A and B are shown apart, each in its own frame.
Chain A
Amino acid sequence: MLIIGELINSSRKAIRPAMEAYDAKAIQELAIEQAEAGANYIDVNCGTFVDDEEERMAWLVQTVQEVTDLPLSIDTPDTNVLARGLSLCKNGQPFVNSITAEKDRFAATLPLVAQYHAKVVALCMDDNGMPTTKEERVDIATRLINGLTQGGVPLEDIYIDPLVKPISTADQAGRDVLNTITVIKEAFPTVNFICGLSNISFGLPNRKWINRAFMVQTMTAGMNGYILNPTDQVMMAMLYASDALLGNDPFCGRFIAAHRKGLYEDI
């Protein structure tokens, strides 16, 4: 199971002021906190700084790497920003977050993924926008996988993001994601899947519960990566339990380690 910690993102109100002020300590604390909570990657996103995103990205990458050995996920649709971020990564294989099947973006992003031997989040969307049906999703994912592998990216480094839409506006949206994973897995058994967990519950009360249930369901269908808040104790408790139940945790080692760390206390 691959976990990308999502907390260092300038669109989060809680962290935005620290980013504005170049408050390295606050950023580094967030990185350490997520690393200790079990993240495998630290995502960095400064997309709200429209005028100087590239300089901000350079600062973020360097600042985070001062306190953690975890590799980074460079989160931007802008290929200049992406290139700058990747050029500064020194903690092992970086993650590109993200590529899409949009013609221009795909063409500009692919060489960077290949050059840095990065893992890549491949969003199921193209120049027609976001898919609405399972068939469209599968079609876009297939094009992404073929295009990336032809460009030299190994299948094991591709993480398909089926693009989760809220069930509040389309009540089959959850089901669609599960079916999509199943169909793509049949065609490409070794490709990976990743998604965020907050879109699904937009517009509904008790969102955390929807998010947690969806994590268990998608994992059962074959999802093996999440972009989430690893300091959400209940979410992580469910994640380790679910992973062990699916037979992905030899001798239940990670589940028991989480227990020893106290993850299951006071919840």
Chain B
Amino acid sequence: MTDLVKLSDFLVTGDKDNAIATAKALLESGTAPLDIINNGLITGMSRVGELFKEGEMFVPEVMLSAQVMTETVATIKPYIKEGEMVYKGKIVIGTVKGDLHDIGKNLVALMLENNGFEVINLGSDKGPNDFLAAIEKHEPQIIALSALLTTTMPMMSKIIEAVDKEGLRPGVNVIIGGAPVTQDFADKIGANGYSEDATGAVMLCQKLLHP
């Protein structure tokens, strides 16, 4: 087993000490830092996403793996040369106004971050003005809206209307998700994309920004 495979295994099992030790050993043996991130950590995190989707892994384990990923990346980062890091894009994410559910949305944020996107997490209960302000401040390529209640889904449509009223598309893509949300609903309200889970959300953002 190569050290990169070992690293991705340690990520899946949430073994922080061994993950960091393996990353350090890889750096010392001359493996490029980005190679470690792309072929060790991101590979591991994709597997976490798949196992979660299949019901083989559970929420606390995903959170632990994500934490191990963040800490391992922090160990590797000082070795990355300026301009070497591929920047995949910026995403503003939040749960819409009237809705306080943030677990699924936070999982999506974690997965996006761990796949190379910069994520601004607004939290929950955010309306059109919150998103417009965040677009102005952070200049994201994507805003991601989450709703867990059928009663707050119409707010997604209101936010899209506000974004269009300001003429912010096509510069900004709007994607949506959450338990009661469907592709049909996304089409109906004119969203740029929909995903039913966190792994799908990563793929969706890749597709939108790097077709």
Number of A-B contacts (CB under 8 A): 40
Q: Cβ of B58 and Cβ of A205 under 8 Å apart?
A: yes
Which of A11, A47, A130, A169 sits near B59, CB closer than 8 Å?
Answer: A169
Q: Cβ of A168 and Cβ of B58 under 8 Å apart?
A: yes
For residue B55, which residue of chain A has the nearest CB? A205
Over the window 42-69 of chain B, the binary record of Cβ atoms lying under 8 Å from chain A Cβ atoms (1 yes, 0 no) is 0000000000000100111001000000
Q: Cβ of B59 and Cβ of A202 under 8 Å apart?
A: yes
Over the window 145-173 of chain A, the binary record of Cβ atoms lying under 8 Å from chain B Cβ atoms (1 yes, 0 no) is 00000000000000000000011110100
Q: For chain B, residues 97 to 139, give those with C-beta under 8 angstroms from any C-beta of chain A.
A: 100, 103, 106, 123-125
Which of B59, B103, B123, B151 sits near A50, CB closer than 8 Å?
Answer: B151
Q: A171 to chain B: which residues have CB within 8 Å?
A: 60
A133 at the binding interface (Cβ < 8 Å): no
Q: For chain A, residues 194 to 248, give those with C-beta under 8 angstroms from any C-beta of chain B.
A: 202-205
Q: Cβ of B103 and Cβ of A203 under 8 Å apart?
A: yes
Instruction: For residue B156, give the distance in angstroms from its CB to the closest CB of chain A.
Output: 13
Q: B63 to chain A: which residues have CB within 8 Å?
A: 168-169
What total of chain A residues lie within 8 Å of the partner, measured CB to CB? 16
Instruction: For residue B15, give the distance in angstroms from its CB to the closest CB of chain A.
Output: 18
Q: For chain A, residues 30 to 77, give those with C-beta under 8 angstroms from any C-beta of chain B.
A: 47-48, 50
**A47 and B58 contact, Cβ closer than 8 Å, known pairs A129-B125, A203-B103:** no
Instruction: For residue B185, give the distance in angstroms from its CB to the closest CB of chain A.
Output: 13
A122 at the binding interface (Cβ < 8 Å): no
The SS class assigned to the A binding surface is: loop
B70 at the binding interface (Cβ < 8 Å): no
B190 at the binding interface (Cβ < 8 Å): no
Which of A47, A48, A130, A169 sits near B60, CB closer than 8 Å?
Answer: A169
CA–CA, A130 and B125, complex, Å: 11
Q: Cβ of A130 and Cβ of B100 under 8 Å apart?
A: yes
**A204 and B60 contact, Cβ closer than 8 Å, known pairs A48-B150, A166-B103, A169-B103:** yes
B170 at the binding interface (Cβ < 8 Å): no
Q: Cβ of A50 and Cβ of B154 under 8 Å apart?
A: yes
CA–CA, A171 and B123, complex, Å: 20
Q: For chain B, residues 132 to 158, give those with C-beta under 8 angstroms from any C-beta of chain A.
A: 149-151, 154
Over the window 167-183 of chain A, the binary record of Cβ atoms lying under 8 Å from chain B Cβ atoms (1 yes, 0 no) is 11101000000000000
CA–CA, A167 and B99, complex, Å: 20
**A125 and B100 contact, Cβ closer than 8 Å, known pairs A11-B150, A50-B151, A169-B59:** yes
CA–CA, A125 and B124, complex, Å: 13
CA–CA, A48 and B59, complex, Å: 27
CA–CA, A130 and B103, complex, Å: 13
Q: B150 to chain A: which residues have CB within 8 Å?
A: 11, 47-48, 50
CA–CA, A50 and B150, complex, Å: 8
Which of B58, B124, B154 sits near A203, CB closer than 8 Å?
Answer: B58
Using a CB–CB distance below 8 Å, which chain B residues touch chain A? Answer: 55, 58-60, 63, 100, 103, 106, 123-125, 149-151, 154
Sample of 10 further A-B pairs with CB below 8 A, known A48-B151, A204-B59: A47-B151, A50-B150, A129-B100, A129-B123, A166-B59, A167-B60, A168-B58, A203-B60, A205-B55, A205-B58
Q: Nearest 9 pairs between A and B by C-beta?
A: A203-B59, A168-B59, A48-B150, A168-B60, A169-B103, A130-B100, A204-B58, A129-B100, A47-B151
